[in-house]
Amino acid sequence: MTGKPDVEGFFDPRTWSIQYVVADPETKKCAIIDPVLNYDEKSGATGTADADRLLAYIADKGLTVEWILDTHPHADHFSAAHYLKQKTGAPTAIGEKVTEVQELWKGIYNWPDFPANGSQWDHLFADGERFRLGNIDARVMHSPGHTLASVTYIIGDAAFVHDTLFMPDSGTARADFPGGSAKVLYRSIQDILALPDETRLFTGHDYQPDGREPRWESTVAEQKASNIHMSRYKTQCEYVEVREERDKTLPMPKLILHALQINTNAGRLPEPESNGTRYLKIPLDALENAAW
């Protein structure tokens, strides 16, 4: 891949998420990756402060939004893709395997009429599909394991690896969500680590181990040398055993049942009911044997 985009990360401390604005410095064309729609589960309040911060940065830098991209349907925050499409007119996109995630969660939410065909996005990327961001080459790599639909966006020398690899001191993502697989995740990580050593890797979360400042950029070389999982567990069997044992102890993300009904619908909130209020639907006992 050719080109070196400018990458600006925006950390959301409520969800430990990193949102990105990725820009071609020559043409000023940019993409937004994994934007957050703010949500407080205690009060039910929603907000757009994080998304508006991205828009303010884009306006300040004189950028034009070409794409609004999600790497996967997130389980720990709402996507602001729909809100940003309304504000910018830019198309939304995600990996084509999102239809499998939609079909799975359609059953969990008992949504018989929900269209599990990906039509909620403007474009579904196939594995290996190429596109351009301004004058910079970009391609999409299917990276399942954390979810069925996860993709990595490789834009010039930068790869946005979502919930596969975290920073080296944090290891790798969990793989116990519905549709997840530690075996599949290991293979996806190997594909990412097969990129050139100098490739910049941008992760989707940082949980600030030992209270350090948030970080989100590394390289393939750094991950291979010091990732606490990938540098230590050299075979798929070793990795899967450790990953699955760890995942058994992890409680579900506090927003998973809130977020998937929004994010399988491309960031759209439920339609208001007759009283003008929107309501979430939370299934009880749907995620069996989850740690409390």
pLDDT band, very low/low/confident/very high, at 1 (cuts 50, 70, 90): low
Nearest to 233 by CA among 193, 203, 291: 193
Compute how many other C-beta atoms are within 10 angstroms of the C-beta atom of residue 68.
30
**134-155: average pLDDT:** 98
pLDDT digits (tens, 9 = 90+) for 221-267: 999 999 999 999 989 999 999 999 999 999 999 999 999 999 999 99
Q: String of b and e for 99-115 (b: at least 16 CB within 10 Å)?
A: bbbbebbbebbebeebe
Q: By the 8 A CB rule, do 82 and 268 touch?
A: yes
What span, in angstroms and rounded, lies between the C-alpha atoms of 145 and 172?
Answer: 11
What span, in angstroms and rounded, lies between the C-alpha atoms of 259 and 289?
Answer: 20
pTM of the model: 0.97
What's the CATH superfamily of 6-263? Ribonuclease Z/Hydroxyacylglutathione hydrolase-like (3.60.15.10)
pLDDT digits (tens, 9 = 90+) for 115-125: 999 999 999 99
